Structure 1
């Protein structure tokens, strides 16, 4: 009922549920009958079932209460759907003087572009390297590994950092002027995610804008691969197109990133993904595991299930996850003796899991934990759906389940670079019951993991960061960047 009307919940109102049966006899005559559903009271604890339903979009947030009970008189089900909320999500943001702020942001952006063009007249500083992100406040992820590798080289680098926790965080005019100057005069600019302020800029001839994309591999279509699909970009968009270098994990996926970002395939380099070096550093892994067990001692008392799905919706403004698809009570009753269940929900998702307090010794919300790769070390079973976390987890050769209750709908609306059912290196579950059955019976599919890893990772040596620095910061200048060099 949460997706009954064009992906929206059942409209507010009172309903009765009947079964309509149609049949055609030997004389090709159609017969139609309507029946009640019969006594379903045994399925309703306390004679009633209640749940919340939600709908999220960029312009509308709706919440409903759905009440189900048995109609003794008519021998059928009563449904009562009551709207609790309908609001424009933008009104929830504490942003006064919206029109004035919009004008000010536009003015600041124009000044930023003008300043960048002026600063381009200055010489490039060959030792200056910028790290810029709108999705992290510290040097974690790919940034951490590339930065540490640069420090090992003991060169006289001039590092500049422009880090924000969210794309919604405002940049002051002084910050914008500083960014314009350093973007214009740096030899290399590293970014790790969508970074809209930089896309209208023309990158200087002897400088590089390098995308250290936060995800690994290629799975669901993204960027310009989604032109014409809901939430896809305009063919005339400037987003991503000015990357001079994009790093990826293997030769096999260069074409997908070239298409997704709208860049020439020669600009896509299969160095490996820096943050995956973590999985080949035994000392670092041991240190992280010990730190996690010290900080969260309950992680070592039982086996750990990590639930890490991607968001639903067309983008950041409408991102949500329909937690009603999970049977909290059944998961708790069936698995609590042997497992604990961690949530690591995508940072775009605005609605919460709302874990019932009586299950607080089983379900734990780790969504605010920054680096999922660290959690993977203490995970015994990963449950995901269409998230790229499956690539990194595969390096650990541990079981994973793909809880894709909406896979048919997702294929129609989002699409993938590969056939989903052949692609996933683990069993598919569409319901909580199927998920529980796979876990209890340990029906994991390990056969595909090895070939999966070798297709999406060219090198399993923990030296991706070295290759990024060698090929981007210290390229071999005596020979051109042909396809052979791009691969290694």
Structure 2
């Protein structure tokens, strides 16, 4: 009895009900052997004679390393009227007989082959199967199919009356017609902070075994940090001392100097030029002719090396500036005790509150340590609405009274018609192909834990379908996150429809010429909502994203547009214009306190000049409510 229960648990693991979505159903060899010893995959001769196999692969299609398969599989004279009595799976078996199991979805037989006799379709109703297998992320931790040669089989597991089960394994049959030119190839890539891998996936038809032959060939496997050939100071003991203890010592010494009441420091480790919120606040101060002393410490990224002179200069400005303005994560400032009467202000680059961040992720994988000093020393931080102040207070680990709903300066352009017309005219001059067509912009966020492992599985888009279905009316722009490392190139035969704008710095400018935005978990949806135009949310991996990252709001009810999971749904939604536009107005009302184009002015008034001005009553109500 105990053995049967144990086998039942193993079987439930092997034949999970959900279809494969990138994670496989691998099990330890001892569990596989236990299952197959109890329920042999190949019954004896007498059993085989009783159970003639009927199976057919009706459809196989590829898009990059993603395979879609559909067909049917049943044992003659074993009726399948109940979906719960049958389970099917693909089995990838390498030359050493090691197996990878991939659950399939059970579907009605008639949906696979409508030409079958009606009595057959009813008797074997749940004989149909389908599945989508992403070979680039099939293994645990979303790793690609390991290097080896595999043959593909299909298992069927049927439970009949009396507790008896039938488990049979067969090759796929003659599927050569689904392989144009008798083979198919695709690239598979994997990125983490310590590992980069690249594989070739080669698919052919094995005539001898009448099934698919899949070969995974490893082309690259390296630790990117080991190949940093640039000679830098970073590795030296003295440089590390100067960036940490030395820097903080200089800061303490410089704090003995008088605080310079007119000094404003713009410090960023995410941009080399004055742009984004920085530019709008600076331009507003200059426009007013304020008598202030401006200084700029800007770097392309956190990894960009600061010279010894820059380290000392940074310590001096941080210690003596009345106003220190940040626009993103800035690790060197967090261990510092900001001096009395100075302001460390976070002009956070993102709008709204979407994905959890900072101390909102305490206790979660990749979240900060409770002892972390990151963000905690801000004296003020800006947000777009009082409704989200609590999320930023939690994320930064600061009191909610320090979170000021001024609005986000860089959104002021969404209320400046003259600026928008200038931008559009400039873009049309530089990119004339944008005129005369509607513009779809695809702007997803990256996948991975950070810059070192950032990637996006572009293969989830079916470029061929998008091209043929939408090319007459639209052009399609890619705006891929700058962190994304994996290779992506537009096939030349689609180059009159797809265009890569990933290197274009200001995404807000591109929004002005965009008719439809397709995103996923990116905060760009907040800015685009101000234009009251259609948005689609291509969240093919939303369950995994919720599990690993999570959101401040329920994703399905939060998004101001339809949730789509694949290319077919994307095309159908665009063609039928089912955009759920009624969701946009309440979305804007919740995430923006003011839609007047005066956020930059409020930042200057309330933070630099420290005047509440016309917003005094509203600010008092906000603070009083907490």
Q: Please, what TM-score do these two structures have when normalized by structure 1?
A: 0.95
The equivalent residue for 1:190 is 325
Q: 1:3-82 residue pairs with structure 2 within 5 A?
A: 3-6=137-140, 7-82=142-217
Corresponding residue number in structure 2 for 1:276: 411
Distance in 1, matches of 2:618 and 2:397, equals 19
CA contact (8 A) 1:289 1:378 kept: yes
Point out 4+ residue stretches in structure 1 off by more than 6 angstroms.
477-482
Q: Deviations over 1:340-376 (max 9, x none)?
A: 2111111221223222222222222111111100000
Secondary structure of residue in 2 paired with 1:402: strand
Contact 1:425 1:449 in 2 (8 A): yes
2:242·2:308 contact (CA, 8 Å) conserved in 1?
A: no
1:431 is matched with: 566
Q: Classify the secondary structure of the residue corresponding to 2:220.
A: strand
Q: Check whether the contact 2:605–2:612 (CA below 8 A) recurs between aligned residues.
A: no
Question: Quick check: 1:293–1:300 contact (8 Å CA) kept in 2?
Answer: yes
- CA distance in 2 between partners of 1:313 and 1:487 (Å): 40
Q: TM-score, normalised by structure 2?
A: 0.75
CA contact (8 A) 1:271 1:487 kept: no
Secondary structure in structure 2 of the residue aligned to 1:355: coil
Equivalent in the alignment of 2:81: none
Deviations 1:229-276 (A, max 9, x none): 222211111111111111001011111111111111111111111111
Partner of 1:226: 361
User: Secondary structure of the equivalent of 2:163?
Assistant: coil
> Equivalent of 2:245, from 110, 113, 122?
110
Alignment partner of 1:448: what SS?
helix
CA gap 1:329/1:318 in 2 versus in 1, 3 angstroms:
same
3-state SS of paired residue (2:136): coil
**Unaligned 5+ residue runs, structure 1?**
none
**Cα drift, residue 142 of structure 1:** 0.7
Change in Cα spacing, 1:331 to 1:99, as seen in structure 2 (3 Å) is same
Instruction: Flag the structure with larger Rg.
Output: 2
User: 1: CA distance between counterparts of 2:209 and 2:173?
Assistant: 9
1:328 Cα offset (Å)? 2.1
Structure 2 unaligned runs (5+)?
A: 1-134
| Further displaced range: 94-103 or 385-394 | 94-103
Contact 1:269 1:486 in 2 (8 A): no
Are the counterparts in 2 of residues 270 and 486 from structure 1 also a CA contact under 8 Å? Answer: no
Q: Tell me, in whole angstroms, the C-alpha distance in 1 between the residues paired with 2:359 and 2:213.
A: 46
Residue in 2 that maps onto 1:484: 621
- Structure 1 residue aligned with 2:513: 378
- Report deviation, 1:211: 0.6
The total of aligned residue pairs comes to 488
Tell me, in whole angstroms, the C-alpha distance in 2 between the residues paired with 1:477 and 1:425.
32
* Alpha-carbon RMSD: 2.1
Give the corresponding residue for 2:583: 448
Instruction: With a CA cutoff of 8 Å and minimum separation of 6, indicate the structure with the bigger relative contact order.
Output: 1
> What CA distance in whole angstroms lies between the structure 1 residues aligned with 2:345 and 2:601?
15
Deviation (angstroms), 1:47 = 2.5
Q: Give, in whole Å, the separation in 2 of the partners of 1:338 and 1:92.
A: 46
Q: Measure the CA separation in 1 of the matches of 2:338 and 2:181.
A: 65
Contact 2:386 2:622 in 1 (8 A): no
Correspondences of 1:383-398 after superposition (within 5 Å): 383-398=518-533
